[in-house]
Structure 1
Amino acid sequence: MDFEPYRGELVAFCYRMLGSVHDAEDLVQETLLRAWKARDRYDPARASVRTWLYRIATNACLTALEGRERRPLPSGLGAPSDDPGTPLAPALDVPWLEPFPDARFDVAARADLRLAWVAAVQLLPARQRAVLVLREVLAFTAAEVAEQLGTTVAAVNSALQRARATVARAGGAGEVREPDDIEARSVIERYMRAFEAADVPALVRLLAEDAVLEMPPVPLWYQGSGDYGRFMERVFRMRGTGWAVRQLTANGQPALAAYAPEPGGGHRLHTLQVFTVAAGRVTHNVVFADPRIFDAFGLPRQLAGEEFGPER
């Protein structure tokens, strides 16, 4: 019995539930091990292999979520800052939401991997999360989900309604723009060129008026193109000009890896930035600086000479 073809979609499922790709990979490994040990008890007359694996994975996720705090983004914890000079002190005690490395997993449904959607899902009680993802994303029937969760169809339908309402209120049901959308790609390519040149006015021209910039594990965030631009001026004053970037995707969204110039030459990985683009403008940029996230994306820590530049 070969379970490997299901690994990618199971990782995506557990990521939506947990908000961490590291935790998701661990739980999928546990799921596949449990399935292998129980393979003699699997009854194909009752459920497909896929449905059976999702039942095991769902139970593993629900157990893992017991007593855990939700994984937020800074914008989910308080009001925006209006001081671009605020000290950048990381809050390492917060279990921050992590991005999803698209290139590592073969996952068909990307829209419901969006950071805003996953962040909104983290507001739900664990069983509502499971119902929402299993029904809305993975298209299991209410009867199948009821069996997976050991409950009734009526309870599943009620939980789904409540989950939908919570996610909508949290802004997780917004417009989806794929990273290969022509308009979105053009915006990000211009953003990359401006970023490499440390050209703040050019960056600001690409922003929506109410654009959001946040940077976990630092717990502050900014809203508005003015404060966004002033913060970027600070970054370039501190780190200099002559940056290098590599283009990629995360959570089904356009993203870039930013490399800061080194005094002795070459470039060192600084951040992973995940964008939301709408109506020809950047509306949201989530900037990650956790080295564990860099490793999850397989990003080199340093670039030298001709290695740098966007991968298009």
Structure 2
Amino acid sequence: MNLEDEFAQVRGELVVHCYRMLGSRHDAEDVVQDVYVRAWKGFAEFEQRSSVRTWLYRIATRLCLNALKHSSRRLVPSALGAPGNDPDDLDTPMTEATWLEPLPDHGMSADPATVVGTRQSLRLAMIAALQHLPPRQRAVLILRDVLLWPAAEVAAALDTTTVAVNSSLQRARAELARIAPSEEQVSEPDDPWRRDLLDRYARAFERADLVALEELLTQDVRWEMPPVPTWFNGRQDVLRLLAAKLTPGDGRRVMVETSANGQPAFALYSRGDDDRFHARYLQVLTLSEEGVTAILAFHRADLFSAFGLPPERPA
């Protein structure tokens, strides 16, 4: 198999790997494109001491580390401070900040035999937690615990020692245990209850039916909406926000279901003066057996194209 065929087979995996490192789909795709250029130029010197796939992952990891030297970590609003409680007192959007981005699930398709990592390692809460780790610790944790590389192979990829790798891994695991959700906290309900929950949520949100939404949101639900740094925690404060921002009535909004980071998501369209529905923001939901526990509402209509969604829809 030549380099072009090998690269085509693992390209989706590399995007996911770089996304875990960088927290941005756009940045991950840029790095993967650079991986191909670097690999093509250096293929003649490739010594085949490892598989081409492993070699490409090494290049990708090093390029991600280089990129992280010149950028700040990707943020979510809850990482900036305490929640707010007044929907009429929202902070000004921080458009200059580097916010975490969602990853469309349709871009992660691959041969099941070659898919690496676990679903939990791509959840938004986990990607946000990874951003708290120093870049090299982040790389070690992903290579060891997600890709399941031996310590010696990680050391070779990062030009360090196995002792340093094991030390970094220990520190990274300790930090994630402190800030990241456990598997029990992120376990989702099974179908058909999950399907019913999503259908009811979409209908309630389209109608701004706060009574119905109150039944679906958990007591400790969290609502975040980058680039607005203000966020809300708790059912009553979230409902107060929705009551202030959603005009009630049928026919004002359309929720189009999609998925991101292995989680259910909805693209929200709202009716404009031209009687067409325009892209507004993308909601990524976290579910539990009790209901909807978190919503990350990305107020970026430009994200819709990455999910294969149009900027507007007819009424």
Is the shorter-chain TM-score for this pair beyond 0.5, marking a shared fold? yes
Which AA in structure 2 matches 1:64? A
**1:59 aligns to 2:69 (yes or no):** no
Report the counterpart of residue 163 of structure 1 in structure 2: 172
**1:32 aligns to 2:36 (yes or no):** yes
Report the counterpart of residue 247 of structure 2 in structure 1: 237
> In structure 2, how many angstroms separate the alpha carbons of the residues matched to 1:292 and 1:298?
11
Report the counterpart of residue 4 of structure 1 in structure 2: 8
> In structure 2, how many angstroms separate the alpha carbons of the residues matched to 1:187 and 1:228?
18
> In structure 1, how many angstroms separate the alpha carbons of the residues matched to 2:261 and 2:245?
25
Which AA in structure 2 matches 1:278? S
> In structure 2, how many angstroms separate the alpha carbons of the residues matched to 1:186 and 1:239?
22
> In structure 2, how many angstroms separate the alpha carbons of the residues matched to 1:5 and 1:263?
46
- Contact 2:209 2:248 (8 Å CA) reproduced: no
Which AA in structure 1 matches 2:61? T
**Given the alignment, which residue of 93, 96, 118 partners 1:93?**
96
Which AA in structure 2 matches 1:242? R
- 249-258 vs 158-167, greater mean Cα deviation: 158-167
- 86-95 vs 282-291, greater mean Cα deviation: 86-95
What SS does structure 1 have at the residue aligned with 2:10? Answer: helix
Report the counterpart of residue 267 of structure 2 in structure 1: 257
- The C-alpha deviation readout for 1:134-169, integer Å capped at 9, x for no partner, is 111111111111110111112111111111111121
Offset at residue 185 of structure 1 (A):
2.9
> In structure 1, how many angstroms separate the alpha carbons of the residues matched to 2:11 and 2:190?
25
Runs (5+) with no aligned partner, structure 1: 306-312
- 289-298 vs 17-26, greater mean Cα deviation: 289-298
Residues 239 and 24 of structure 1, relative CA distance in 2, 3 Å threshold? farther
**Given the alignment, which residue of 26, 41, 45 partners 2:45?**
41
- The C-alpha deviation readout for 1:72-127, integer Å capped at 9, x for no partner, is 10001100001011246210111000001111232534321100000000001110
**Given the alignment, which residue of 233, 238, 258 partners 1:228?**
238
> In structure 1, how many angstroms separate the alpha carbons of the residues matched to 2:243 and 2:19?
34
> In structure 2, how many angstroms separate the alpha carbons of the residues matched to 1:240 and 1:64?
46
> In structure 1, how many angstroms separate the alpha carbons of the residues matched to 2:269 and 2:245?
12
Offset at residue 29 of structure 1 (A):
0.2
Offset at residue 271 of structure 1 (A):
0.9
State how 1:52-201 maps to structure 2 within 5 Å: 52-87=55-90, 89-106=92-109, 108=115, 109-174=118-183, 175-177=185-187, 181-201=191-211
- Contact 1:178 1:253 (8 Å CA) reproduced: no
> In structure 2, how many angstroms separate the alpha carbons of the residues matched to 1:234 and 1:149?
50
If the length of structure 1 is used for normalisation, what is the TM-score? 0.92
Which AA in structure 1 matches 2:41? K
- Identical aligned residues as a percent: 49
Offset at residue 238 of structure 1 (A):
8.8
Offset at residue 253 of structure 1 (A):
0.4
- Contact 2:208 2:249 (8 Å CA) reproduced: no
Runs (5+) with no aligned partner, structure 2: none
Runs of 4+ that moved beyond 6 A: none
RMSD: 1.9
Report the counterpart of residue 310 of structure 1 in structure 2: none
What SS does structure 1 have at the residue aligned with 2:50? Answer: coil
Offset at residue 205 of structure 1 (A):
1.1
Which AA in structure 2 matches 1:208? T
**Given the alignment, which residue of 265, 286, 299 partners 2:309?**
299
Report the counterpart of residue 17 of structure 2 in structure 1: 13
